[in-house]
Structure 1
Amino acid sequence: MKLYPIFASLSQRAVLVVGGGVVAERKVAALLEAQAQVTVNAPTLTPRLRRWARQGRIAHRADPFRENWLERVWLVVAATSDREINALVANLGELRRIFVNVVDDAALSTFHVPAVIDRAPLTIAISSGGEAPMLSRLLRERLEALLDDSLGALARLMARLRPRIRARFPASTARRAFYEGLLAGPVAQLLRQQRHDDAQAAAERALAAAPRSAGGSVVLAGAGPGDPGLLTLRALRALNEADVILHDRLVSAGVLALARRDAERIEVGKRAGGHSTSQEAIHALLLEHARAGRRVVRLKGGDPFVFGRGGEELEFLRAHAIPFEVIPGITAAVACAAFAGVPLTHRDRAQSVRFVTAHCRDSRDTLDWAALAQERQTLAIYMGVNELATLQARLLEHGRAASTPFALIENGSLPNQRVVCGVLGNLVERAVAHAAGSPALLILGEVAALAPSLAWFGAAPLGATVHALPALAARPAGDVLDAVHQAVC
């Protein structure tokens, strides 16, 4: 179940807590911090709850729970040790459309209480949806050590300046740029040193000196093969600073989820046989948004300079005097090979690697097939799934052995990764048998024979049976490769 995160204002609003034990006491304490008007329903109370009742901080009802107590309450917490009572409270709350939290029962709860890091007015909440509360607490403990206490003071300072900042920077792009510069400057350091007046003065100076408008720019960034964990730190920072993201079709949802929530996302992918955005249209979008003063991230799968037309886009930006920078990404050949357990080079078997694209007739007709058919090298072939028959025929025609191993890697680095293994002679047959489709990368060469034995990620490779591999552990690397090669073939 996917939860919608929300911070609720409970100040002077009625909340009912059913239960009077230690757990209920913890819930009440947090609700009082939020200035809620709390009523506790329980026959007996902990000493602390009794004291709060005597002091008038909470109301106490000792008689059994009744449905009419749900009238005019905003939230309910069921914290008894009786699951039947908790279920009754949850069901009645559901009927009245009141959110109910049942302690330690995610299935009955319609809202969950997160682990909280308090840097008031800054609050950070962590939730596992009730599935793994200990994990949430562990993460909170780790973040507590990373987040300085001065963050609260920084948030209050920014709140005081906010009306003036909005007045000086009507455009959100310029306003965001000022905030980022402010946070990167001396203000935060001064607040950590408890020099609040100096921090205020530094922020005032920054506000007076900042330009009213920010110029647009483009970042050409590689998104890697799909696994969000393989995105570089610089690319992550660019995504969090972007106003507009022009992304390829193959950029994964997990990577896009790391970007600023309010950034405009525009898919400009190209696909065979389907809707595509022309390169000229992409150039026009880059120019339009950059000239409007926006920070644009042109996000490409893999690396922008490996079959990504990055060079063409930079030439266009340079010709139109648009500032740009390039952030490399992990290209598909490197990532897919690594996640399939295939070394692209090997001291004994492959002294070179060639990156090849064969997605259309124009590209395949320009390839040096005689050079590609040479042994002791690895071919990493991009966008070649629809051209497997041609690749197979041309390589065999120019002398590449039919027994040359291959690994065809679908969705490399993603949870649904598949690896199809075989040899060049049965490449098309194996691909058809396993319904291989895009996106996929073909690795062909002696090193591909290692895929069945070195596989470590996702499902086991398809189409290859490796016999007695555990017994090979103590044998020389060359012998192991020979044995694996024979098993695959």
Structure 2
Amino acid sequence: MSSVPSLFPVFVDLRDRPVLVVGGGAVARRKSAALLEAGARVTVGAPALDPTLAGWVRQGRVVHVSGVFEAGWLDGAWLVVAATDDDGTNRAVAAAAGARRVWANVVDEAELSAFHVPSRIRRGPLQVAISSGGGAPMLARAVRERLETRLDDSLGPLAELLTRRRHRIRARLTDIAARRRFFDRLFDGPLPALLRRGARDAAERAFEQALAEAPAQSTGSVALVGAGPGDPGLLTLRGLRLLNEADVILHDRLVSPEVLDLARRDAERIEVGKQAGNHRTTQAQIHALMLEHAGAGRRVVRLKGGDPFVFGRGGEELQVLRAHGIDYEVVPGITAALACGAYAGIPLTHRDHAQSVRLLTAHCRDPSDELDWASLAAGSQTLAVYMGVGGLERFGERLVAHGRAPSTPFALVENGSRADQRVVTGRLAELAERAREHHIASPALLVVGEVAALADTLHWFGAPPLGGCRPEALPHAA
């Protein structure tokens, strides 16, 4: 467990509120300047002040309390900053503040601080704050420097314009969903470019036109979005944008928390997970949820692990949406076979070993009847099997019974692309035994074919494969 605290980010209104700064040197001066900028009434307590602070006292901008820190200095203060070079004084400030429930920051002492001052980027009234929880301030600074080059200067005047027009927008667009879509269209329209060029009058006209044309009521829609295998870096840009526009997210059990964390914070999240033997949400209930929320004018994202059209029942869901006249779109995702193969170092096709790849699932009502075992047992192909691990023994036995060699390599990829990815390799005859030995659990993908042996030497992500079928034993492996 991390020793860095999980801080709650908050922006504090300090206008005309008393704040104490303990210390009289350069650090205290910098902290006082930031507090004055926020409108705070700053009192500086120290035996002596640097020239700039002393000048601010003469100008009446700050109040000076001369002497060594006393707990009484905290009377009436909303928060305090300890900015001295004396550890004992800083600890005394933190202790006294804690006893009085006054928020305290001790400069460069994260463990003594009840609040932290983040690295900050400003574009007019728009601010972006970055914190490492006090554990890695240099990293926070590096992130700030990168963002400084990416956040356009037009954001400042844009924030000022929207602040001036806030009440008009709310009066014109009382429906929250309609208001949100207005902003989406506004940000994608000509307004930011006009502000960037300094064309303020043209920007005002563009805003007025956009507001006048904005629909007062929103219409619902559904987007089927592939979340990929779990690594949030594999989510498509279009999928990310839709997650940030969604009002409601209906997500599968296999969608990783890291992907869900990319969505809008105030979007309603509804898990509609299904797994073998535990259908907590039926497909009919999922259809009903999509129709209910889209019918109420909401933007719905149906977020599916992998790809919506690969064993995801996306086709069935589109048929329901089309039958009810609901607008929809589909955003593909990286399916498990591609991701697990790539992250395990397994090329699904290879000039020497596999000229084709077949995607299949063992989640049939009766796999022994519905799968073409004779075709699956043929050589020179790769099988990528989406399945519950409970069917491994039967699957391996059926392949061998129909002619696939017991020595055929396999690889089981558990939690492919995620931080806890595991890969187990071996020969087909020992598939079930190896899975039990290593307690393989869902989600896991089975790869069967000569290419699976390449995982032992081509792996690059996570821990090396467990067990093995060395590719040197394969023909043409070189």
**Structure 2, unaligned runs of 5 or more:** none
Structure 2 counterpart of 1:81: 85
Is this contact kept in 1: 2:453–2:468, CA < 8 A? no
1:415 CA drift (Å): 0.8
In structure 2, the CA distance between the partners of 1:481 and 1:465, relative to structure 1 (3 Å rule), is: closer
- 1:65 corresponds to which letter in structure 2? F
- 1:388 corresponds to which letter in structure 2? L
Query: Do structure 1's residue 454 and structure 2's residue 458 form an aligned pair?
Result: yes
Looking at structure 1, the residues matched to 57 and 382 of structure 2 have their Cα atoms a distance apart, in angstroms, of 76
Query: Do structure 1's residue 285 and structure 2's residue 289 form an aligned pair?
Result: yes
Q: 2:125 aligns with which of 101, 121, 124?
A: 121
Looking at structure 1, the residues matched to 73 and 369 of structure 2 have their Cα atoms a distance apart, in angstroms, of 79
Q: 1:323 aligns with which of 311, 316, 327?
A: 327
Structure 2 counterpart of 1:348: 352
1:363 CA drift (Å): 4.6
Query: Do structure 1's residue 194 and structure 2's residue 198 form an aligned pair?
Result: yes
Q: Which segment is superposed worse, 280-289 or 38-47?
A: 38-47
**Structure 1, unaligned runs of 5 or more:** 467-477
1:484 CA drift (Å): 8.3
- 1:158 corresponds to which letter in structure 2? L
Is this contact kept in 2: 1:350–1:446, CA < 8 A? yes
- 2:32 corresponds to which letter in structure 1? V
Structure 2 counterpart of 1:38: 42
In structure 2, the CA distance between the partners of 1:200 and 1:409, relative to structure 1 (3 Å rule), is: same
1:450-489 → structure 2 map (5 Å cutoff): 450-464=454-468, 479=472
Q: 1:373 aligns with which of 355, 377, 394?
A: 377
Secondary structure of 2:467's aligned partner: coil
1:299-322 residue CA offsets vs partner (Å, 9 max, x unmatched): 100000000001111111111111
Q: 1:17 aligns with which of 17, 21, 25?
A: 21
Looking at structure 2, the residues matched to 414 and 95 of structure 1 have their Cα atoms a distance apart, in angstroms, of 44
1:394 CA drift (Å): 0.2
Structure 2 counterpart of 1:27: 31
1:465 CA drift (Å): 8.0
1:197 CA drift (Å): 2.1
Secondary structure of 2:411's aligned partner: strand
Looking at structure 2, the residues matched to 365 and 99 of structure 1 have their Cα atoms a distance apart, in angstroms, of 69
In structure 2, the CA distance between the partners of 1:222 and 1:363, relative to structure 1 (3 Å rule), is: farther
Number of paired residues?
474
1:274 CA drift (Å): 2.5
1:464 CA drift (Å): 3.0
Looking at structure 2, the residues matched to 364 and 9 of structure 1 have their Cα atoms a distance apart, in angstroms, of 68
- 2:281 corresponds to which letter in structure 1? T
1:277-316 → structure 2 map (5 Å cutoff): 277-316=281-320
Q: CA RMSD in A?
A: 1.7
Is this contact kept in 2: 1:384–1:442, CA < 8 A? no
Structure 2 counterpart of 1:256: 260
Secondary structure of 1:107's aligned partner: helix
Looking at structure 2, the residues matched to 435 and 395 of structure 1 have their Cα atoms a distance apart, in angstroms, of 22
Which contiguous aligned blocks of 4+ residues in structure 1 show a shift greater than 3 angstroms? 360-364, 478-485
Looking at structure 2, the residues matched to 402 and 320 of structure 1 have their Cα atoms a distance apart, in angstroms, of 50
In structure 2, the CA distance between the partners of 1:408 and 1:77, relative to structure 1 (3 Å rule), is: same
Is this contact kept in 2: 1:453–1:484, CA < 8 A? no
Is this contact kept in 2: 1:13–1:36, CA < 8 A? yes
Q: TM-score, normalised by structure 1?
A: 0.94
Looking at structure 2, the residues matched to 162 and 39 of structure 1 have their Cα atoms a distance apart, in angstroms, of 35
Structure 1 counterpart of 2:62: 58
Query: Do structure 1's residue 155 and structure 2's residue 151 form an aligned pair?
Result: no
Q: TM-score, normalised by structure 2?
A: 0.96
Looking at structure 1, the residues matched to 341 and 122 of structure 2 have their Cα atoms a distance apart, in angstroms, of 44
Query: Do structure 1's residue 409 and structure 2's residue 433 form an aligned pair?
Result: no
1:391-421 residue CA offsets vs partner (Å, 9 max, x unmatched): 1110110111111111111111111111111
- 2:132 corresponds to which letter in structure 1? S
1:102-151 residue CA offsets vs partner (Å, 9 max, x unmatched): 11121111111111111121111111111111121122122112222221
Is this contact kept in 2: 1:246–1:299, CA < 8 A? yes
Secondary structure of 1:298's aligned partner: strand
- 2:363 corresponds to which letter in structure 1? H
Looking at structure 2, the residues matched to 451 and 353 of structure 1 have their Cα atoms a distance apart, in angstroms, of 16
- Sequence identity of aligned pairs in percent? 64
Q: 1:222 aligns with which of 220, 226, 239?
A: 226
Query: Do structure 1's residue 206 and structure 2's residue 206 form an aligned pair?
Result: no
Q: Which segment is superposed worse, 338-347 or 152-161?
A: 152-161
Q: Which segment is superposed worse, 144-153 or 239-248?
A: 144-153
